Homo-oligomer: A and B are copies of this chain.
Amino acid sequence: MHINLDALYGSLTIKTNAKLALIVLDGLGDIALPSQNYLTPLEAASTPNLDKLAKQSAQGRLIPVAPGITPGSGPGHLGLFGYDPLEFQVGRGVIEALGLDVDLKAGDVAARANFCTLNDKKIVTDRRAGRIATEVTQDLCALLSKRIKKIGDTEVIIKPGKGHRFVVVFRGKGLEGPLTDADPNREGLPIPVCKPTNAKSAKQKKAAKLIGDFYKQALPILAGKHPANAFLMRGIAHQPDIPCFDERYQLRAACIAVYPMYKGLAQLVGMKKIEGMETIADQFKRYVAEYDNYDYFFIHYKYTDMYGEDGNFEAKKKAIEDFDAALPIFLSKRPDVIAITGDHSTPCAIKGHSWHPQPVLLNSACSGTDKLERFTETGANIGSLGVFESKYLIRLMQANAKMFDKFGA
């Protein structure tokens, strides 16, 4: 028997005046190793403000997707927003476009693209066109944008990224992904024709034809350029249809993030983007200023992940300390429910995202306290929330906001 738990939660939801805040320290979770004096950056950091909060809070650990699975930022955040990342899969093209600050609309089809080199027999000889500089990619994208604005009734948006990378977004009627890659995935082969993944989908067929037409128009424009005389397209997908956050949870939601990717992910579920901040102190000030205008605040802090990816333990620790120093601004306008966690772990020793469950702290008048002196991975292991999937966090936040009716008599 299959139970739709989201429908159940929805049926029990009561609109209240409660304020909820989710603070994501990106890639917060880490692992303790003998070489790190058996400490994680969170354990090594001096965090007087988090410590004070921890004493009044419950803790636990979150599994981003499923045991052993390392998530990208997309699945990591969708889980925290309460959308099962296995049910709501967002294509790489869409994520890439969001990361480049493309204002995606429902139904847009987006592709990750990168310049490459073809020989005169149309064989890919360098999949990255000698890793051309960002400025060269910007010039080439500007050239393509100028010459190809529309194909039939479909608008074409071309946006340069870093190095040889760019994205192409097709905005028109009746389009759908995912499509197969226009990328041989190795050198020595021609660029394959992009095809529907579902042969029965008329929308995918239309999108695939569009990609073909785009190649027909774009390749002659690049002919003779060296080394970037062609391009590859991958992860071609449409913006998925995701139930709107505000309706799903009865919460007016705002995103207080600095980096485009996270603003994009919030926008994907319909959160309102709040713009124009740089530091976490700015972000917390803005939260205070916007307190009355929303019910749910998603506040994103990037630097824990960034230094984890670098494998820089001291910098990750310092990023946590910087965060902690700004926390009193946030606490000056304390919401009813606070959750502080990561979207996944980014252990310094791994220099990348990982599958290790990230610690979570939950605070409200009825969260109870786990009597823990600090918020750490080791403390979270013995917290009252246990180890659970990220997608349930928002349900616990709603419960703490007294937003659920009793189930059954």
The reply to whether the CB of A381 lies closer than 8 angstroms to some CB of chain B is: yes
Once the chains bind, are A366 and B349 in contact (CB under 8 Å)?
yes
Once the chains bind, are B86 and A384 in contact (CB under 8 Å)?
no
Give the bracket for the number of chain A residues in contact with chain B: 35 or more
- List which A33-81 residues lie within 8 A (CB) of chain B: 33-34, 38, 40, 55-56, 61, 65-75
Q: Which of B357, B369, B392, B404 is within 8 Å of A384, CB to CB?
A: B357
The reply to whether the CB of A31 lies closer than 8 angstroms to some CB of chain B is: yes
Contacts of A56 in B (CB 8 A): 34
The stretch that binds B, out of A89-97, A288-296, A302-310, is: A89-97
- List which A356-404 residues lie within 8 A (CB) of chain B: 356-357, 365-371, 377-378, 381-388, 392, 395-396, 398-399, 404
Once the chains bind, are B3 and A409 in contact (CB under 8 Å)?
no
- List which A225-274 residues lie within 8 A (CB) of chain B: 235
Once the chains bind, are B5 and A2 in contact (CB under 8 Å)?
no
Mask of A317-359 contacts with B, CB within 8 angstroms, 1/0 = 0000000000000000000000000000001011011111100
Contacts of A92 in B (CB 8 A): 408-409
How many copies of the polypeptide does the oligomer hold? Answer: 2
Known: A406-B353, A407-B69. A370 touches B366 (CB 8 A): no
Once the chains bind, are A368 and B33 in contact (CB under 8 Å)?
yes
The 4 closest A-B pairs by CB, nearest first: A31-B368, A386-B387, A68-B399, A68-B395
Chain A residues at the B interface, C-beta cutoff of 8 Å: 1-3, 5, 8-9, 12, 30-34, 38, 40, 55-56, 61, 65-75, 84-87, 89-90, 92, 95-96, 235, 347, 349-350, 352-357, 365-371, 377-378, 381-388, 392, 395-396, 398-399, 404, 406-409
